[in-house]
Amino acid sequence: MEADKEALVREMKAYFGDDSRRIDHAGQVTAYAEQLLEKEAGDYSIVIGAAVLHDIGIPLAEKKYGNAGARHQEKEGPPVARKILTGLGFDEEQVEEICEIIGNHHSPGKIDTTNFKILYDADWLVNMRQAYNIADKKNLVKAIERVFLTGTGRALATEIYIPYNE
């Protein structure tokens, strides 16, 4: 099944309810994932499914553990995603790969697929501003080289966060 992005987004929004911060984040990550897919050879259905649902474990993690730490998100996200994806008619192989990505989306190195790398980089393109002092260009350049897993992700991060005319 080709990813029906609108249906995925509708389900994600319904699950997050009035949490506009999480909804906006998922939208930004999905937009970057689509941009990365233009140059990286990923599977649209897998990458978009993972992008839209990558943080779907946050509400349950916060409820069960009192926080949305990375390991809690990775633990609680896949069962919620599986239910959504199955309900939307994704085949089992797609569901498995998307859930594996969601279950490791803060843990680079556990999965070495192009689909994972695209999602990981898309998430970092959004999170970079919160994780690093973007005014410290020297360290930011080093961080971009260290963090991003695809050439396209590194190039896009450099374009976004390192001004050309300094």
Q: Which pLDDT score, from 0 to 100, does residue 165 have?
A: 45
| Model confidence, pTM | 0.94
Domain residue ranges of the chain, discontinuous segments joined by +: 5-161
Residue 164, pLDDT score: 61
The architecture CATH gives domain 5-161: Orthogonal Bundle (1.10)
Half-sphere exposure of 14 (CA within 13 A, CB side): 9
Torsion 33-39-40-41 (CA) sign: positive
Taking only the tens of pLDDT, the chain with its 166 residues reads 556 899 999 999 999 999 999 999 999 999 999 999 999 999 999 999 999 999 999 999 999 999 999 999 999 999 999 999 999 999 999 999 999 999 999 999 899 999 999 999 999 999 998 888 878 888 999 999 999 999 999 999 999 999 764 5
What pLDDT was estimated at residue 86?
97
Q: Which residues, at least 6 apart from 21, have a Cβ–Cβ distance to it below 8 Å?
A: none
Residue 134 confidence (pLDDT): 79
- pLDDT at residue 8, as a whole number: 97
